[in-house]
């Protein structure tokens, strides 16, 4: 991810304010309308500071998703810990998805935007690929451990199963956010049936 990283490190409370402000702005205005001016005002920092540390809005979007991916992986680890069956493991993953949609729907909005940007920006493409690799390998590690502990059986290699589970989850999340008034209970039930062919 080195090529896609900002040239300067920004950590601590100020960095979190900036990331939170960008996430909130995307929820209100979308990515196109979320300018450095809006984000800087909301975060209580200068516009120049955002340019200094992130350079471009796209790099800031990558940082938002990077931090949200860290939280997503932590949440997965916590919800999967101690499960004793395939149904419990899959239920924990559904819980993690529902919590992310409820608490940070902007995560999926920004991720979709980054996918679009990645088609014409090699730097963003590298960043997106690295983010996907990290979360895919993280879930694969959890699945592999559960398999080795005798808790679940897998239909394929852990990383391949992880990839398909994320494809199901992220695809459903996009649809749930696009039409939030619909009842997605039946669709989630069918998705679980499909997932049980992979994790059993």
Domain chopping of the chain, boundaries = 2-196
Q: Is pLDDT of 6 > 60?
A: no
Q: How far, in Å, CA of 57 to CA of 30, rounded?
A: 12
**From CA 127, how far away is CA 122, in angstroms rounded?**
9
Mean pLDDT of 160-181: 93
Give which of 28, 27, 21, 76 is closest to 36, Cα–Cα: 21
Q: What is the CATH number of domain 2-196?
A: 1.10.357.10
What is the pLDDT averaged over residues 135-154?
Answer: 96
Whole-number Å distance between alpha carbons of 7 and 76: 30
pLDDT attached to residue 186: 94
Is the pLDDT at 7 greater than 70, yes or no? no
Distance CA(143)–CA(200), nearest Å, equals 11
pLDDT digits (tens, 9 = 90+) for 65-117: 898 889 889 988 988 888 999 999 999 888 888 888 888 888 888 888 889 88
In whole angstroms, what is the distance from residue 198 CA to residue 56 CA? 40
Percentage of the chain exceeding pLDDT 70: 94
Please state the rounded mean pLDDT for residues 130-137: 95
CB atoms within 10 A of CB 15: 17
pLDDT score at 150: 95
Taking alpha carbons only, the member of 118, 115, 114, 97 closest to residue 177 is 97
pLDDT of residue 4: 38
Q: Whole-number mean pLDDT of the chain?
A: 88
- Report the alpha-carbon distance of residue 176 to residue 14 in Å, rounded: 32
Q: Which of the four pLDDT bands, split at 50, 70 and 90, describes residue 152?
A: very high
């Amino acid at each position: 991810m080195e090529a896609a990283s900002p040239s300067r490190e920004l950590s601590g409370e100020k960095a979190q304010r900036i990331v939170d402000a960008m996430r909130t702005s995307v929820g209100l205005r979308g990515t196109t309308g979320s300018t450095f001016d809006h984000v800087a005002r909301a975060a209580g920092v200068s516009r120049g500071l955002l340019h200094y540390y992130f350079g471009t809005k796209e790099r800031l979007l990558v940082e938002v998703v990077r931090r949200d991916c860290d939280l997503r992986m932590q949440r997965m680890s916590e919800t999967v810990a101690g499960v004793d069956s395939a149904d419990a493991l899959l239920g924990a993953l559904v819980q993690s998805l529902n919590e992310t949609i409820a608490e940070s729907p902007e995560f999926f909005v920004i991720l979709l935007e980054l996918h679009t940007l990645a088609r014409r920006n090699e730097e963003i493409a590298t960043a997106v690929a690295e983010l996907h690799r990290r979360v895919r390998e993280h879930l694969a590690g959890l699945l592999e451990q559960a398999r080795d502990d005798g808790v679940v059986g897998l239909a394929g290699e852990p990383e391949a199963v992880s990839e398909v589970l994320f494809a199901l989850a992220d695809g459903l999340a996009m649809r749930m956010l696009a039409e939030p008034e619909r009842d997605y209970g039946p669709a989630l039930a069918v998705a679980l049936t499909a997932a049980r062919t992979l994790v059993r």
